[in-house]
Structure 1
């Protein structure tokens, strides 16, 4: 959630400033996707964007700020794509399928940004050394668990621990995406269909 200060700051930025920031964020995503999180530097980002490091430091306080935006902006775009598709389903099982199916579909259509986001989320740390995106990942599990629990209350789904199963479903999805990250020739659509069928059998009543 944006703070009031962040919203005010964004309103003060000109169109040119916003375009430059977007250019830098896009360049950073490309560098992370190609070189990896550990090898990403302001110098490499500047080279990819065709600008000087000074231009970057004018618009951003640090590499940390840029990489956070790479991850969070793409995650937000993904959720916007998913949310309407989830809401359009009337059953819990349908919403679970829409959640996983649309997530895989969106990431599959944006490979470079996905590779950058996943690398940043796996490696980025807060100042205290903890995972920087732990709260976001927990929120994702909670959201899917809520759908599963509602399906159980409605008698649609079998009995199980909703949060445990939500975590398992999301980690299975991560596994499919990780395999695709290493093998771009993998048929992600076919893998998605198999995963969705597996989920249907795992949560549905016999």
Structure 2
């Protein structure tokens, strides 16, 4: 029983450090966020951070990785009951748009701080953007095979257009303080996009 309590306490500290890192970096910027400030926000000693993570970079990568794992798991779970390609694309757009409302600090970090570092941009593109694009491409290809979407268009171009559109909406929301109705806005984005890729019925 004691071991279980210790494990739970360790997990709680681990998560507090991740949450604190995202909040502090979003507020102060990456280079102005020392580990000591992250530890203070998490309510732990500086050394405790290094028990779980090798460096500040490691904390940041882990926080981002966990956020995207949650994102993809949410999509995978929903796709069990959402079968249509149109509906699946709209759901991906909705979850993407909801991201800045679920965790604004993480959204600020992803939309601003992370993009100031060529290293993090490269890592993000390799680790997460590629997976996002691949997920959308698979849905688009299935829609093309079913005759729902035009087969003469590149699924990769469609996927990048979708990501870019939603990414810009999220950035706009962060910088202006605007709050979108994620479901309604996702439907509008898909309406604009899908009207351009829907196959013409004979």
| Greater RCO (Cα-Cα under 8 Å, separation 6 or more) | 2
CA shift for structure 1 position 25: 0.6
Q: Deviations over 1:166-197 (max 9, x none)?
A: 11111111111111111223435354343232
Does the CA-based 8 Å contact 2:13-2:42 persist in structure 1?
Answer: no
Q: Deviations over 1:92-150 (max 9, x none)?
A: 11211111122222442222232234446534565xx8711222211221221111111
Count of paired positions: 193
Structure 1 unmatched runs, 5+:
1-12
Which residue of 92, 112, 115 corresponds with 2:85? 92
Query: Scaled by the length of structure 1, what TM-score is found?
Result: 0.81
Query: Scaled by the length of structure 2, what TM-score is found?
Result: 0.83
CA shift for structure 1 position 48: 1.6
More helix per residue: 1 or 2? 2
C-alpha distance 130-168 of structure 1, shift in aligned 2 (>3 A): closer
C-alpha distance 94-151 of structure 1, shift in aligned 2 (>3 A): same
Which residue of 189, 192, 197 corresponds with 1:195? 189
Which residue of 91, 97, 118 corresponds with 1:104? 97
Q: Distance in 1 between matches of 2:36 and 2:181?
A: 34
Aligned to 1:134: 125
C-alpha distance 45-61 of structure 1, shift in aligned 2 (>3 A): same
Q: Name the SS of the counterpart of 1:14 in structure 2.
A: helix
Q: Distance in 1 between matches of 2:90 and 2:186?
A: 10
Aligned to 1:158: 150
